[in-house]
Chain A
């Protein structure tokens, strides 16, 4: 005799299963603080393997760069030879301006060592994995909750802002880069006259063309706002995630909106995300 199948029972079971999955997805989104001991164990087991593979890959890539990018290296070499000639000529002139140059360097370094960042504890971390899935631009760092890292802690490189921590395991943490469309940053553009214009920096990378290193951040402004190419973009400190005055990038291009009311500033990040190997996690979330 054939077993009778209770279709209503199956439908109710499937419905509640789907409902619980959807609730779980909603509750465990980006930056949520839910305990994940199994994930933590997985990360701690797999992170040494990931680190070794990534290191090996980087070494192979660096050592075989000349083979894969022969034409590129040749062009780069010719350009560098021209530059050497030009730099030799400019050397005398530069010696005269050395004092002014020193002052500029002092100012440039001062931008990163700002008072808002100094008061937080920072922890150095190495990149052990990149973009675990194609859907997000993320980095996995080898510091986790054991080192005091918490979700929403900002991640900063030697030159400027990288992103924020979105999930943490005991030994690793995942950082969402500012290049990702989901990682918006409240920012201000500092003009050459010192004036500041506030706005939101957003990653404008299209999924599929994300590896283009140029102009992958953008900001919207009113037409009359005083923003020009070359202006420095810094974090505004609003929103509670990123500290104030951390450099983000430089405005490289301004485009007017077809309506004429708005303009878009394209920003080149100061950090080269493609070759990033180390970063600082600023403990703002847990260590305030």
Chain B
């Protein structure tokens, strides 16, 4: 059930930005839901499984978008690593701190995407990149108070909780 739910949330994270958030975009800026969900997963898993989930989510997005295969794979793996590293040091029950953490990690992830895009020869101005990075990070942070309490509770006690083999 847990894996099925995670896959469904991954797929929703791919579908919603182009559909629902098309109507809720702020000057064209939409949240990066897959990055947000990867951060949540990394906050509730061990380091190796966080990075594996990040790699899987990134590869899924790369294949879905059908271009620059590897860009999101690399980015979301690093995002998962960074999220895990921060969650180890910060108190993950504190929702305000988590909001700030999501803002910070999303900004790092988006900067990495911009950096890799520039590396492939795309010509984007630094002003545009800053605008977009801040916008997406802010939007992701705004979604934390709405989504994180539910997801966090589910990871601790609900359907998303990891059950060891002996318990299953």
Residues 99-131 of B, flagged 1 when their CB comes within 8 A of A and 0 if not, give 000000000000001101101111110011101
Q: Please tell me if the beta carbons of A206 and B67 are within 8 angstroms of each other in the complex.
A: no
* Residues of A within 8 A of B (CB-CB), count: 48
Bound-complex Cα distance A34 to B68 (A):
11
Query: Which of B63, B67, B120, B135 is A166 in contact with, Cβ under 8 Å?
Result: B67
Are A132 and B28 in touch, CB under 8 angstroms?
A: no
Known: A21-B73, A46-B11, A133-B32. A32 touches B67 (CB 8 A): yes
Main secondary structure of the interface of B (DSSP, over half): helix
Q: Contact partner of A211 among B25, B73, B117, B132, CB < 8 A?
A: B25
- Would you call B30 and A134 a contact (CB within 8 A)? yes
Residues in chain A near residue B30, CB distance under 8 A: 131, 133-134
Interface size class of B (residues with CB under 8 A): 35 or more
In the complex, are the beta carbons of B63 and A38 less than 8 A apart? yes
| Residue interface mask A200-225, B partner, CB < 8 A = 1 | 00000111111100000000000000
| Interface membership of B164, Cβ < 8 A | no
Which residue of A24, A29, A38, A210 contacts B28 across the interface (Cβ within 8 Å)? A210
Chain B residues contacting A130 (CB-CB under 8 Å) are 18-19, 22
Closest to A130 in B: B22
B64 at the interface (CB under 8 A from A): yes
Considering only CB atoms, which chain B residue lies closest to A41 in the complex?
B63
Residues of chain A within 8 A of B23, CB atoms compared: 57, 60-61
User: Which residues of the partner chain B approach A25 to less than 8 Å between Cβ atoms?
Assistant: 68-71, 116, 119-120
**Residue B36, interface by CB 8 Å:** no
B15 at the interface (CB under 8 A from A): yes
**CA of A228 to CA of B67, assembled, Å:** 39
The residue that A29 contacts in the complex, of B22, B68, B129, B135, with Cβ under 8 A, is B68
**14 sampled A-B residue pairs with Cβ under 8 A:** A26-B120, A46-B64, A57-B19, A57-B20, A57-B23, A60-B23, A130-B22, A134-B132, A167-B65, A168-B66, A182-B122, A208-B27, A208-B128, A211-B27
Those 10 A-B pairs whose CB atoms lie nearest each other, nearest first: A210-B28, A167-B66, A129-B18, A21-B70, A208-B131, A53-B19, A24-B70, A39-B63, A207-B128, A28-B69
- Can you name 18 extra interface pairs (CB under 8 A) apart from A25-B68, A46-B64, A134-B29? A20-B70, A22-B70, A30-B67, A34-B69, A43-B64, A53-B16, A133-B30, A134-B28, A135-B113, A166-B67, A167-B65, A168-B66, A182-B122, A182-B123, A207-B124, A207-B131, A207-B132, A211-B25
